[in-house]
Structure 1
């Protein structure tokens, strides 16, 4: 994972509510554990027509949305199954953050473990963003805030551990591995203070 401290990007908007993980990446593409390349299948059944050609009406296919790294979506984004492939596909597509007024808990957890920032804001704010596709936002992880071009700032919930992992660019395992020196030092001091008892077999 790369560090995530700040992001300035235009938004791409999906107004639909209840976008579930099967719509984010259909189950038939879950046969791999490789993350690279999954972006091709993100929103597959919406992005591509039956003949395999690009659906020009889908927001993520429109030229003006190329390079947008912030997805603004309708309420209850990421509901459905717990597949980790969903955030894998979105990050491989180039997205770094998802904003909605409600994000499913399991999807939110999986997203944070994979460097995708799920941001929950009030309905009124999200409705405003949904009505302004392509608006440029600034996301600051350290202050847990989203800034609009008019100068308004809105804070979003983010637990301290997830925030630390994003700022350091590590997942949960990576964070623990970075503490190896401290863990070893603690274990050594514990052994010094409380040496293991010697056991003797009775003869």
Structure 2
């Protein structure tokens, strides 16, 4: 099983409070039947002007932050509607982690369940990191998932909380489905015990339908 213990790369500063999911992934990009192409919609109104031309002053359009894999943002990142597309768009764009003082609750669990790492740091630590990554020469960061630490290019380090369950998921590069499948043997043993204790409950719907069909 492959493991991922460190996320390292360029960090883009987005010092905005309450950046909601409607801004992260605007509504016009939700009319899809699969996840493809959501990277184009990521932060669209911030990245592009009314004519569709890139805004040169926006951080993700600046050459120094090309290929950024981490975002450092303000408080309440991902608030608003529950659209999971916001998480998918970030991932398709190449973002592997977001660091902020706080996150919208639904976005937080959407992200964790889809393998997007969210790092919660005190506001003072986020401000300190924003100051650093706002200088392109110091924009590199390293997130050690197992140690639960963030390290800036100049050696500045901060620790963040993370549940053992989600640390294990990220360390093994797994989403919620993958984490559940790792418990498949336990699930099958539980099912066997359940049907042994309650045999009359097995295939109830199928047996009732068969009786109804026979009676009809």
TM-score, L = length of structure 1: 0.87
Closer/same/farther in 2, CA of residues 111 and 191 from structure 1, 3 Å limit: closer
Contact 1:72 1:99 in 2 (8 A): yes
Q: Give the drift of 1:190.
A: 6.3
The 2-side partners of 1:80 and 1:14 are apart by 17
User: SS in structure 1 opposite 2:50?
Assistant: coil
Give the aligned partner of residue 108 of structure 2.
108
1:124-135 → structure 2 map (5 Å cutoff): 124-132=124-132, 133=134, 134=136, 135=139
Which of 173-182 and 40-49 deviates more? 173-182
Give the aligned partner of residue 153 of structure 1.
157
Give the aligned partner of residue 203 of structure 2.
none
Give the aligned partner of residue 201 of structure 1.
none
Name the one with the larger helix percent. 2
Match of 2:174 among 170, 174, 182: 170
- Unaligned segments of structure 2, at least 5 residues: 201-216
Which of 53-62 and 129-138 deviates more? 129-138
Contact 2:82 2:106 in 1 (8 A): yes
User: SS in structure 1 opposite 2:86?
Assistant: helix
The 1-side partners of 2:198 and 2:26 are apart by 55
Give the aligned partner of residue 97 of structure 1.
97
- Unaligned segments of structure 1, at least 5 residues: 198-203
TM-score, L = length of structure 2: 0.82
1:1-203 → structure 2 map (5 Å cutoff): 4-132=4-132, 133=134, 134=136, 135-188=139-192, 194=197, 196=199
Contact 2:114 2:176 in 1 (8 A): no
Higher RCO (CA < 8 A, seq sep 6+): 1
